[in-house]
Chain A
Amino acid sequence: MSATGIGASVRRKEDHRFITGSGRYTDDINRPGQAHAYFLRSPHAHATIKKIDASKALAMPGVLAVLTGDDLAADKIGGLICGWMIHNKDGSPMRAGGHPALAQGKVRYVGDHVAVIIADTLAQARDASEAVVVDYGVLPAVVDTATAMKSKTVVHDVAPNNSVYNWHLGNKDDTEKAFKAAKHVVKMNIVNNRLAPNPMEPRAAIGLYDKAEDHYTLYTTSQNPHVARLVLSAFIGIAPENKLRVVAPDVGGGFGSKIFIYAEETVCVWASKKVGRPVKWNSDRTEAFLSDAHGRDHVTEAQMAIDENGKITGLRVHTIANLGAYLSTFSSSVPTYLYAPLLSGQYNIPAIYAEVDAVYTTTAPVDAYRGAGRPEATFVVERLVEVAARQLGIDPAKFRQMNYITKFPHQTPVIMMYDAGNYNASMKKALEAADYKGFGKRRKEAEKRGKLRGIGFSSYIEACGIAPSAAVGSLGAGVGLWESAEVRVNPIGTVEILTGSHSHGQGHETTFAQLVCERLGVPLESVSIIHGDTDKVQMGMGTYGSRSGAVGMSAISKALDKVIAKGKKVAAYVLEASEKDIDFKDGKFSVKGTDKTLDFGACALQAYIAHKFNGQDLEPGLKEGAFYDPTNFTFPAGVHIAEVEVDPDTGVTRVVNWTAVDDFGVVINPMIVEGQVHGGIAQGIGQAMLEGVVYDKEGQLVTASYMDYCMPRADDLPSFTVGMTVTACPSNPLGIKGCGEAGAIAAPPALINAITDAVGHEDVAMPATPKVVWRAAQKALKKMAAE
């Protein structure tokens, strides 16, 4: 292993600009003559718009325009789209209501976009927004996930009973049979709480129109600028792709919420032509809570069937998923194909049946948030497994081991073909690292201090490396999920990698460069990673679903193969040897059995000056591109063990130990991978203990600032013990599985399993605030007293 190649914890190349305040985020960009946009948002969860009177606002200082949904319609700008078609059980398509970027006749959630005010300064736009008079006809709200289908109020006329779709997966008959034959059945009602993603950088956009070129540019906080361009161009109809450039510069975290194409960037780029000036918008945090797509929000009834030998024989799930007021870009796929196919967990379960009802409510749209569907599935499976072990009196680690899949490839009853893994290896390593044997002692010691100590497991699996294009196409995806890369070798041997992946904290500028160092033998500082600009990078699908290593780097690897192959041809001419006698190793081309060599840099120069070969026989230059379409999903998996102490008098829970052992396949940079795990665990602990989006009965968002929505802070969390096992992924050339979402997927059930173990009662809903935990502890005490 070289000091900068695959497997080295290279310090990040991108850090210097961030630690010196030189990062360039969208809000740091200012264009000459720019105007500022302020969105007037609905104060009501559900209302008709009878009239908008902007005359007073238009007369205020600095105001350039007040635009509404009527203006969008007049310009024939289309609505926002959902790019994944889900079919109902009966084969009919899902019921998608219209989603205009500015409301047309009706608002459907608090924060919905009523009008945009554009002025010289933000203060002027904000002041003028208060002078826009909107006459609303207020309608009843639909807020509750579980009862939305029973509401008399309909959010979209196209969707009676607020049903977006009723979908299913698996074999119902086989599953019914398994339950009939079961020795033991575990039943649970599970709520997966609604979350706000909260990247620290709020969303932002600057739209520019160049009259001379009849060309638009959009700077935006996006995880996938090419997808944004595709949607804005082909579906919303802003401009053809060749007339629209989308730039996503430094982006301050995404966690899924910056995948989607939102109203604000659509309006900024459209309005830039209307007002003839660049239009800038920057979200404040309350706007982010109101209008960034939320995550999770499932209500589930789940049952697990177990035979007399403690083997799981069946799993049955019915889930109601709240998709909010409109279908966000990939929302429909989250509670279906990103959820139910993971219900087999790490276990050999012969029969699984899942039924999902997706519902509209008058709340913000819900879409993918770190893990997207997989945390919800893992929470269901890992709570059921833990409770089953407890009810059967089997050690929860042993019960898992009894049911692990041990032979690969393994076809589950719910689509997925697991390609490789060693779940026992991760469990064994985790048990050791967590000193599971010593837990009893620690529990007794805690008792002496009046504390309840508990331990909880999570044996998670996820499907990452999203995804084979033909496979997802057959499941309803509107796009292919390949990735693209270009390797430009310059005449003096420096290298530029253009990638369709997008880094918003993942450290691609370092890890991608490490791959190039490893393969081409060039120094790290000679490699630049270019991403996030549709004018520079040929094409791309972006970063989400832990896909940038497995898919994005595989594309780079494929392009590097082509560069090396071309380099060999050039070297053969220069070294006057046959091409098949040329080797390439450690940055040098050599002729087999001789001491004749050519450095990679010298080869690049020869490729460009083209003096040693005939330009008709071999094309000059050294630049290659590749598209990589994965052959399968990847299946990162691992074991997390949480240990907590609960104060039974106050319900205050302290996470005292956290052990994670993950199998991510081949790891490029362990330091960065561990960082991804830490961050994921923190978000998972946040979901389990602290975070929860709350709407009141009228659909008002109660948690719209950091004073109301509890973000994990440094003193809420412990340090983490992170270990790894490795089974290389056979489904991509680098053996990578992906690591970005694991922590957020694994952590919530581990923590709830630990808390329920501590208090001795299963009724602990997320977020397990002191009130929730105290009540569960009291219930357990009462039960004990009664017995």
Chain B
Amino acid sequence: MATVSMTVNGKAVTADIDSRTLLVQFIRENQLLTGTHVGCDTSQCGACVVHIDGKAVKSCTTLALQCQGANVVTIEGIAAADGTLHPMQEAFREHHGLQCGFCTPGMIMSAIDIVNRKGNDLDEHTIREELEGNICRCTGYHNIVRAVDAGAKAMAGSAKPMKHAAE
């Protein structure tokens, strides 16, 4: 057993864990935040994407102990404290960018990361290439691409980026 401390969605947490505990297990089983999913166990599908210190990371192949002192944000942490959705969440709903919803949290976390890295004016080619690490079996990506594009523009829309619960 080992002790780990980190910030999850703005809250400081400390826990004694088996040292082989994966970050996704820590988030789901220890923190009871079940929005982050496991789809493949091999960092291929991206259902487990969270933000660690502002960068998109696949939590199924990250040890919780690696995140000592880190700032972790999950899908549960991106809406504003009053429940106002993050523009990327809103864009996925508006553009029907989800069906079964299982890949969606990872998709949204990756999409926000794409905008953070590539800016708000994305072309389709860039969006498709950047989504390479997230698999969706339902939508054929058609509407996800539209959602990411709209979400990216909406994130630029507020003069100052919307202040979110944890970011």
Q: Which residues of A contact B (CB under 8 A)?
A: 11-12, 14-25, 27-28, 123, 198-202, 250-253, 255, 284-286, 504-507, 671-672, 675-676, 678-683, 705-707, 711-715, 717, 719-720, 743
Contacts and interface: CB of A to CB of B under 8 A. Distances in A.
A706 B40 contact: yes
Contact of A671 (B96, B101, B102, B141): B96
Contacts of B75: 19-21
22 contacts: A11-B94, A18-B104, A18-B105, A19-B93, A19-B98, A19-B105, A20-B89, A21-B35, A27-B34, A198-B137, A199-B100, A200-B45, A200-B135, A201-B102, A284-B38, A678-B140, A679-B138, A682-B139, A713-B131, A715-B128, A717-B140, A717-B141
B34 A202 contact: no
Given A714-B134, A714-B141, 6 more contacts: A23-B101, A252-B103, A285-B45, A507-B99, A679-B140, A714-B127
Contacts of B39: 200-202, 285
Contact of B105 (A21, A202, A255): A21
A71 B99 CA distance: 41
A253 B139 CA distance: 11
A15 B105 contact: no
Contacts of A286: 41
Contact of B93 (A12, A199, A678): A12
A675 B96 contact: yes
A16 B139 contact: no
The 4 A-B residue pairs with the shortest CB-CB distance, nearest first, are: A21-B35, A18-B101, A252-B102, A682-B140
Interface string B26-50: 0010000111111111101101000
B155 to A, nearest CB: 15
Contact of A714 (B40, B105, B128, B137): B128
Nearest to A202: B39
B102 A284 contact: no
A700 B137 CA distance: 25
B71 interface: no
Q: Which of A123, A200, A675, A711 has the most CB of B within 10 A?
A: A200
B79 to A, nearest CB: 6
A707 B132 contact: no
Given A20-B76, A23-B101, A715 B129 contact: yes
Contact of B100 (A16, A504, A715): A504
B135 A678 contact: no
B35 A20 contact: yes
Contacts of B127: 714
A250 B101 contact: yes
B109 to A, nearest CB: 10
A372 to B, nearest CB: 16
Interface string B83-96: 00100010011101
Nearest to A21: B35
A393 B37 CA distance: 53
A714 B127 CA distance: 8
Given A19-B93, A20-B89, A253 B132 contact: no
A492 B94 CA distance: 31
A352 to B, nearest CB: 32
Contacts of B140: 678-683, 712, 717, 720, 743
Q: Which of B85, B98, B138 has the most CB of A within 10 A?
A: B138
Interface in B128-167: 128-129, 131-132, 134-145
A787 B64 CA distance: 66
B77 to A, nearest CB: 9
Contacts of A19: 75, 85, 89, 92-93, 98, 101, 104-105, 108
B20 interface: yes
A678 B89 CA distance: 21
Contacts of B145: 714, 719
Contacts of A21: 33-36, 74-76, 105
Main secondary structure of the interface of B (DSSP, over half): loop
Main secondary structure of the interface of A (DSSP, over half): loop
B53 interface: no
Contacts of B93: 11-12, 15-16, 19
Contacts of B20: 123
Interface of B: 18, 20, 28, 33-42, 44-45, 47, 74-76, 79, 85, 89, 92-94, 96, 98-105, 108, 124, 127-129, 131-132, 134-145
Contacts of B108: 19
A22 B37 CA distance: 11
Contact of B101 (A11, A505, A679, A719): A505
A711 B96 contact: no
Contacts of A505: 99-101, 138
A672 B96 contact: yes
A743 B139 CA distance: 11
Contact of B135 (A255, A671, A713): A713
A713 B139 CA distance: 11
A624 B96 CA distance: 33
Nearest to B100: A505
Contact of A253 (B33, B42, B137): B137
Given A20-B76, A285-B42, A705-B42, A200 B47 contact: yes
Contacts of B89: 19-20
A505 B101 CA distance: 7
Contacts of A200: 37, 39, 45, 47, 100, 102-103, 135-138
A439 B11 CA distance: 59
A714 B131 contact: yes
Contacts of A682: 139-141
A641 to B, nearest CB: 16
Q: Which of B28, B45, B100, B131 has the most CB of A within 10 A?
A: B100
A679 B135 CA distance: 12
Contacts of B139: 675, 678-679, 682
Contacts of A705: 40, 42, 44
A719 B76 CA distance: 30
Nearest to A251: B100
Nearest to A503: B100
Contact of B18 (A14, A123, A251): A123
A340 to B, nearest CB: 28
B132 to A, nearest CB: 5
Contacts of B138: 200, 253, 505, 675, 679
A450 to B, nearest CB: 20
Contacts of A18: 98, 101, 104-105
Contacts of B44: 705-707
Contacts of A250: 100-101
Q: Which of A15, A676, A719 has the most CB of B within 10 A?
A: A15
A20 B129 contact: no
Given A19-B85, A706-B42, A12 B96 contact: yes
A679 B18 contact: no
Contacts of A24: 34
B40 A285 contact: yes
Given A16-B93, A123-B20, A675 B143 contact: yes
A253 B99 contact: yes
Given A714-B141, A714-B144, A284 B99 contact: no
Contacts of B104: 18-19
Nearest to A250: B101
B46 to A, nearest CB: 10
Q: Which of B28, B39, B47 has the most CB of A within 10 A?
A: B39
B135 A711 contact: yes
A719 to B, nearest CB: 6
A611 to B, nearest CB: 41
B131 A252 contact: no
Contacts of A671: 96
Given A22-B35, A715-B132, A252 B41 contact: no
Q: Which of A16, A21, A255, A678 has the most CB of B within 10 A?
A: A21
A23 B35 contact: yes
A22 B75 CA distance: 9
Nearest to B126: A715
A198 B47 CA distance: 13
